[in-house]
Each structure stands twice: as structure tokens, then as C-alpha cells.
Structure 1
Amino acid sequence: MKLSLATRIFLGYALVLLTFGAVSLFSVAELHRNRLEIRLVSQGYLQLSQDAAALETFQTSQEKDTERVLEQNSVETRRALIRLASLYYAPQMAQRLEAARAKAREVLTFAPEGEVPFVMELDSRFAELARNSQAYGHAVEAVFTALASESPESQEVARATNELRQLESAIGRELRVLRATLTNRIRERVDGAEERERRTGLTIIALSIMAIGVGVGVTAWSARTLRPVRTLIEGVSRIGRGDYSAQLGVRGEDEVALLAREFDQMARSLQAREAQLKSQAEALMRAEQLAAVGRISAQIVHEVRNPLSSIGLNVELLQDAVDSAQFDSQDTATEARELLSAVTHEVDRLTDVTEQYLRMARPARPDLEPEDITAVLDGVLDFTREELVRAGVEVVRDFAPGTPRVLADQGQLRQVFLNLLRNSREAMPTGGRLTVATIPQEGDVEVTVRDTGNGMTEEVRRHLFEPFFTTKEGGTGLGLAVSQQILQAHGGSLSCQSIPGQGTTFVLRLPRA
């Protein structure tokens, strides 16, 4: 089960509260136990021990009184003292024993379960003392009876006296044992309480340290859990500054991780959108440049084309006149013909330049028909074979079998391929390898023209398709711009890949027929 971030943090701090609550409950429980122990000792065993000591003192005093009575020579005096003892001792002893038994029964109400048998044993001992006290009263009566006669029998008096002394000794011994038992029990409970208090203190310290450790651990875990929030804030700040390459890379399944992944996706989308806008801006800039070139070219063509035609016609007429004219020497005739040939060459070159400007200014709308792209490439390569061979260029045709037809204007497509082949030849002045390949794609056909020339830098490649940009001496910088314009009009594209020192590859894409 996946828990939310808030739930996990709540559970962590709930664990801390439970830990400290457990420590507190343990401390309260131990304090309550110690309070019961103190009450048991102070209000129970200690008072019972005091009662036992008072009974023992009372019994000792009675034994001494009995000795003094029996030492009296006067029978009348002994009778009176024994009578006084029977009227005083027995009721006092019974009253004190009853009070001690009541205290023992009271102790039973708050004594721990483990102490109940001991308290009940104390109660039974007090009951036994009460019975012995009653027997002692009867023994006192027996002695009184034996001494009451005018001539007491010495044997009867001795027997009654002996029985009285035995009962006194038994009661005294029982009281001493009872008091010693209570004293030992008090000592045991006090020692146990001290040991338990020491263990309780150590346990509370250990539990407190553990609770603090749990608290620190939960705090560290919470800080670690919330750390992606800081990363997210930094990423948002970078996006705000225009850096769309920010990627958080937060893992997990909580809300922050999901938000971070959505943020990464948004950053990628913004980066792609920015690249698209940049590409569109560049395309718009090129379109504006081409529009300006178009306006300028139309004006140039209008102003230059007709004079060039007239110059060309007049040069042809001059050539005819030179051919039929008489010269003083053959060198003069040859020089005149060379000058006219140079003028004709320059006029043709200017005518070609004006035609390029005219195509840039008024691009012809392509007449799209299903064309066999491999046949068009074969025709262009055959046409330029001699030129490429003279330049020392080896041509490799890597056409995929069953390359589908494309929608294209064959004439414009030949113009593009001728321009690319000429550029590749010029990029390999000392010869090299030219590879032309076709690669069928899902919705279009890809044509690659790869040379092994010197390649170009990234800066050059970035401006390669801009009008009037050229790295060749005497170049117009319109060939690749016109080629890209033609392919875009076909619904395709033209791009370039180049590495300095490793050659250049032009990639054309044309839609399938």
C-alpha cells in the first residue's frame, strides 16, 4: 500500500509521540508501583511491626508481673494481684490483638497480589495469639482458683503456675517471631524497592535515549523525504531564469516524486518547444531573407537580364564578324577570339547567376508525380560520372532494394542532387569516396549523400542554409538555400551532419508516393 507524503510524515511523528508516551507511561507506572510499595511498608508492615513490638513489651511486662506475684509470700496478696491480672491483662491483650488483626485486614485492601499470602499469614498468627491469650486468661483463673482455698495444695498451685508460665513463654516467643518476621519483611521490601528504583532509573534513561534516537531518526528521515522539495524549488527557479534543461531526476512514488517527474516532462516539453520556436524563428528569418532576396532579385533580373541577352547576341555577332575578318597577324586574330570567348563565358556566368536569383525570387511550384528515386539518382550520377572521375572521386551506390517511389518534381529533384554532388566534389579537392544511399522509412524515403572531405565546423554548419552564406571563393551562397527551399516545397527536408576531418553527410527526406 502506497502512503502519501503527509501520511508518512504523520506516522513518523506519531511513532515519536508513541515512544515518548511509552516512556512516560512506564515512568508513571513505576512511580505508582513505588507509591504502593511505600504505602505497604509505611502504612502496613511498619505499623504492624510497631503493634507487634507493643504486644511484646506488654507481654514482657506481664511476665515480670507474674514473677513478682508468685514471689509474694502472702496468699492474700497473691490472690489480689492474680485477680487484678485476670481483669486487666486478658482484655488489654485481646483488644490489642483485635486492633492488629484489623490493621492486617486493612493492609489486604491495598497489598499487591504477591503480598496477600504473607498478610493472611500475619492475620492467622494474630488469631493464634488471640487464642493463646484466651488460654492464658483461663490459666490465670486456674492459678487464682488454686490459691483461693484456705490451704492451697502445693501441687495444684505448682501445676497451674507452670501452665501459666508456659503460656506466657509461648505468647512471648510467638510475638518475638512475629516482630522478627515483620522486620525482615520490611528490610526485604526496602532493599527490593531500592534495587527496583535503581533498575527503573536505568531503564528510564535507556528508554529516554532510545526515544531521543527515534525522534532524531524520524526528523532526519522527514528531512530526507522533504529534500526533493528543495530540488523542485531550485528547478522551478532555473525554469524561471530560462534554463529549460533542468532535470530533477527524483525517484519514488510519493507526491513530490510524481510532481518532479511531471516537472521534468514539462521542462523537456518547454525545451522542445523552445527549440521548435527557435527553428521556426530561423525559418522565418530565412523566409524574410529570401523575400528580400526575391525583391532584390526581381529588380536585378529586370535591370540586368535584357541587357545581358543583348550583350550575348552582340558578342555572337562579333564572333561571326571576327571569323570573317582579316587580321594583320594570326596572333591578333587569336587574341580577339579569346577576348570574345571570355566575354561570352562571363555573360553565361552572369546569366546563370541571374537565373539562380530568379529561382530564389520566384520559385517554381513543383509538379509532384510518383518518381523512382533510384532512377533519378542513377541518371544524375551517370551525367556527372566523367566530372567525378576526373576529380578522383569514387562513387558508391547503396540503394536499398525495393525503394518505394516518392512524390517529386523530377526536374527540381535533379537540380538538388546536382548541387549536392557538386558540393561534395568540391569538398574533396584531392579525391575521395562519395556514397549515395537510399533508406526507406515509415512515411518517407531518406537519401544520404556522404563524402570523405574535410568536413566543417559547427559554426559553419549552423549557417549553411542561409542565403548568401558561402565558404567557397566566387560562390553565390544560394545553392543550398534553393535546394532546401525546393525540398520544403515537396513536403520534405534537407539537413546536414558534419565532423571536422571526417567528412559531411547531407540527409534528404521525401514523402512516399
Structure 2
Amino acid sequence: MYPKNTILLIDDDTSLHDLCRAILARMGYKCISAFNGVEGLEKIREHHPDLILLDLMMPDMDGEQVYQELISNAEYQAYKDIPVIMLTAISHDEERENKMLKLGVSAYLNKPFGLNELVNVIKNVFVTHEIRLHNKRLQEEITSAKQYLERLIDNAPVGVLSSDAKGNIVQVNSFFVNLMGVESVDKLWGQNILEGKVIGRKDVCERFRQVLETGTAVKIPTIDIHNRQGRRINVNINCVPLKDENGNISGLLSIWEDVTEAEKRAYELNILRQIGQAMQSVLELDPLLHLILTSITAGCALGFSRAMILLVNEQKKVLEGKMGVGPTSLEEALEIWDKLAKEHSNLEVFLEKYGLKLPNRNDRFDQIVKKVSVPLDQDWDVLIKTIREKRPFKIENAASNSMVSPEFQQAFDMEEFATAPLIAKNRVVGIVVADNKFSNFPLQPDRIKLLSLFASQAGLAIENAETYRKLEDKVAQLNRAYQQLQEAHEKLLRSERLATVGKMAAHIAHEIRNPLTAIGGFARAILREPQDIENVKLGGKIISREVNRLEKILANVLDFTKISQPFKQQHDINAIIEEVIQLNKPVMHERNISCNIQLHSSLPPAWVDEEQIKQALVNILVNSIHSIHHQGKISVSTDLVDEQVLIEISDNGAGMTKETLENMFNPFFTTKSGGTGLGMAVTQRIIEEHGGEIQVESEKGKGTTFRIFIPLTVPPETVPESITKIVNNEPR
């Protein structure tokens, strides 16, 4: 068993050492001896005892001196809290005893003492010392916690203000002191938050009074306060009552959140939003530039005194002044500001009234700006640096600044100014230059930052306006090209019509020549021998036949030239096909032709002109019937292919040569004796008027297949309209 505690006995009486060692060892203590003060101090440093028995009267260095050294010398800092029992043979020295107890001695024990008395005193001192150490630790923890809370409150990112039940200030933190613009905390002690001097707003004082009287927490959202330095701040205040252990109101605690910057940012974003909306509605460059400059110089917007826009001219490799807004003299500036101050316009009204107005042609500042031309390779110039580095610049002491050209400074006489790039899709299209000439307000970093943000918006708007201008130019070119195309098309149509008319006239002349020749010949024969009744009858019969032939030719020509626009309705294609086949069954029966029909069972209705489709199908079917000279077969089928109805008519007739196949849809081309050559031309026109297509496959001696594609949906009307609808989104 190791001793519980180590006790150091410092005494020049050797017999006492032996006696104490025996007693203390029996009680479980470890006893260390020192026979003078110097040795005692060395033993303290060597063994760090848990308790010291110190004799008051010793040669050279007495007990009082040892204790003074222990508690005052920095070398013994780690040992000064060791409990000390002072042993003394001097009785009735109360003054000295009180002195030593006040210095921190744990107990006094007069010699001679009984052994039990020594043990009891030691035990009591250990207990007392433990309690004292515990209390000390608690006190240190309380002090540490208090200091932590004080630091926490003082370094909190919000203002803290507390008062007693009468409204007297009890505590404030540094944030609150700085927020209110107070020189120091001392300026607030003794002041009352209900009197209005601290806060400066009676309504807030009344809300505080309400908390102290009713015990109800209150929230005061976003109010304006002017602090002691005259600065306007925006704060949110949360206030709660403080209550004692009995539930009585003992004061209040208020938390002050500074939202000045947040409100400022919200205001600035709202400005940018309003200006952005205004810019979106302007697509012409000059009105847009003036709107941008008006926004930069408007007091209810960015609030600069003067502003100019310079745009990059890639062809000339220069930065050119395009437009400027602002006064050129103090008198002009004062006149403008006085006029605007009387109007009290908000931003929306201001932009509506002044934004789209172009500068007067005689505006001096605008004229000066338009003369600016800076080579793009002048890299030292701040205007070009703004383009190259794609960032804003603030120039101070412009007259002596090496980045400002003498010509620019002479033209505008600026002391300080800011530049910001106009960026669109990572490309700088120009720059904005702004200053506070005549107002003499310094250019604050937040204003320059806002200018830069706005310039980004403006750059996109300028790019859009330039794109719109180029689009208008392209549209104008397209309109001119379209007009020329229309004129050429009309000329071509006229030429085609004339060619067709000529061709038709030639064919008609050819077709009617033979009947007319026959009619003329027999008419002359009748006139020569009118008494020959048989000859007259024969001639009359032939003349009648040839006249019928002429009428048929003319009727076919009229049918071809008078094909009208189809009147489309929804019809069942299968039903139309069945009707056409039914009409031609007698002819097929006479020619011993079989007809195989395979119609799609779920074919949806199509938008067609029923009579025209019948006519086209009859022409094709008759063509197939006439191609079969003896026993043969015709197949008719329908199907659905890519939102189109497919009608297929095949025969195993004579087929066609390559030349016939290439010319079969040409008007008046025919291989039939007595045919007009218009049937298949009419068929093709009907199908094309329905937005469809007709295909033919044929081989001499193997038959022919016709495929007709008709769309299910109604084809859109193809009425030419002006291309300007692309821009204006409205018909012209």
C-alpha cells in the first residue's frame, strides 16, 4: 500500500520528526523531513508534498519567512496552494497568528500538542483544503463561463441591448455600439431606452415599454434608424422580456440585426431588374444606348453625373464614342438637377419619360463623345485595358494618371472616373465611362460594382440590338430576293404558260386537222353531187362522226384546263375504290379480266375531293383495262404508309416502253388510236392538288403498276407571305 498523502515536516527539533513520522506512518501518510527553512523549500520543490507542517521559530530562516517565500516567489508558483499547518511554541501571539491565517496558513497548532490533536488537525486541514480547492475550481469555472458569455455576446454578429425593469441600460455589446455610431460603451451607461435618446425613434421606445409592461415578446422588422453619426441604417429588432426566479419582469433583452447591406443589395437588384425590363423592350440601337445612359445618370438609379458609351469597331480597329449623356458645366448640371428634383419621379416613370428620348443634335457633351476614337492597339490606355482585361477600372487624379490619354482628359476634364466593360457572350462589345463631375461625390466601390453589374446587362442588350439590326438587314435582303424570285417565278410561269399554250395549240391543231379534212372533203363531195342520195348519206354519216370526234377532243381539252381546286372532305378511300371497280366490272367481264381486291381493313378516312379521286382512279383503271388485249388480271390494294394512304393498281397487260413511261404524264401524249393524251395528265394534276404523289413502274410485255400516295391530313395552304413576319410576328 502506498501512503495516501505526503506530508513535509520542516522543524529544527529532531525528536519531533521521529515522533511525527511514527504517528503519520501509522495513519497511512508518508512523512518527509527538513530541519531548516532552506532545506524545507528544497524539499517542497523536490517532492511537491500534499501538506506542510512548518515550525514558526527556526534559526536563520523562520517559518514566517519560509511561508512568505512560498507564496510570493514566482519559482514556487506551482506550490503556493499546498496547505500549511504552522507549529509554534509561542502562546498568546494572536496578532501574528491572525496575520499568518490571513496570508493563507490553513491552521495553527501550539506546542506541545497531543498526537490525536495533530492527526485531527491534519484531517481537518485536508478536508478544508479539498473544499477550498473545489470552491476555487467552481469559481474559476464560473469566471471562465462568465468571460466566455461576455466574449460571446461582445463578439456576436448582432447587436445586443439589455435593460432592467425600468429601462435602464444594463448591457450592450460592441456590435450595438458600432451600429449606433456611439464612441464607446461608457456613453450608453445610465441612459434609459424608454426615453428615445438612445434609439431616436419613439415608436421603438413604445414597443420596448410594451415588453416591460406586458411581458410579451415583440418583433420589429426592417425599420430605418439614423445613428449618432447620422448614418441611415436598416435593422430587424427582436425583443423578449427577462424574468426572475419568481416570474417577475426584471428587464428586457433585444437583438439587433443589421440588414442595411441586404436592403441595399435588394434595392440595387430591383433597380437592375427594372432597367433590364425596360431594355428588353428596346431593339433599336440608338434608343437603347440612350436608355442605358439615362439609367446610369438617373438619381433614382445609379446616380452618376455623366456617362458615355464607346463601342468596338472591328473593321476600323478602334473604340468609337457612340453617345453621351450629362452636363458640360456646373450651371447646366444645377439646372437639370433642380428640374428633376421638382418632378419626384420614381425609376419607372423616369425611364418612361426620359429613357427613349435621343440626345439633342446640338447636345455638346454628346457631340464631344462622338469624336472619341481610340485605336484598339493602344494597350496602355485605360479604355483599351477595360476591354482587354474585361474588368472595371477606377481612375483617380486623371490629369496625372499615365493610363489616361491627354486628349481624353482635355476633352472631358475629369478628376476621377470609372470604366466598365460591356460584355455579351464573353465578348466585349464596348465600354461605359461614368463620373461625378460637378456633384463632387466620390466614386464609392459599391457604385462602381453596381455599374459593372449593369454594364453586363447592357452589353447583352446592345448585342441583341446589333443582332436585331443585322436580322433586319438580312430580312430586307431576303424580301428583296423574295420579290425578285417572285417576279422571276411569274415570268417563268408566263413563259411556261405560253409554251404550254403553244404546245396545246399545236396538238389541238394536229388533232382536229384530220376530222376537219374529212369533213371538208365529204362536204365538197356532197356539194358536187347533191343528187347522189347514197353518197350524201355516206358523207353526212362521216361528217357527223368526225364532228362528234371534234367535240370529244374539245371536251377533253376543256376538262384539262378547268380542273378546279379540290373540295376536300373526309372520305373512305376503300369505298371510293369499290365504287370505281363496280362501274368498270361490265367492261372487265366482257374482256375476260379478273380483278383481285385487297383493301386495308383499318384504313382511316382521308381528306379528299371524292369526285376528283374517282376520276383519277377511273383513268388509271381504264388504262389498265385497255392494256390487256386478251384474258388478264388486275390487282387493286390499299395500305397505310407513313401517315399516307397507298393505292396500288397493277395489271399484267402489255406494259410500256421506256419512252412511253417518260412521257405518259405529258399533255396530249398518247399511244392510243383516237386518244387525246390528256387522261394521265389530268390524273397527275388531281393527285398533286391533293398533296400526293403518283408513281409508275412498267416493263414492255410484263404489265404496269401505279402507286398513288395521298396524305391523311389536310395539307396546309401555301399562300406566300412576307418574310417580315419573322421579325414583326404579324401579317403585313
The TM-score with structure 2 as length reference comes to 0.25
Task: Give the structure with the higher percent helix.
Answer: 1
Larger Rg: 1
Task: Give the structure with the higher percent strand.
Answer: 2
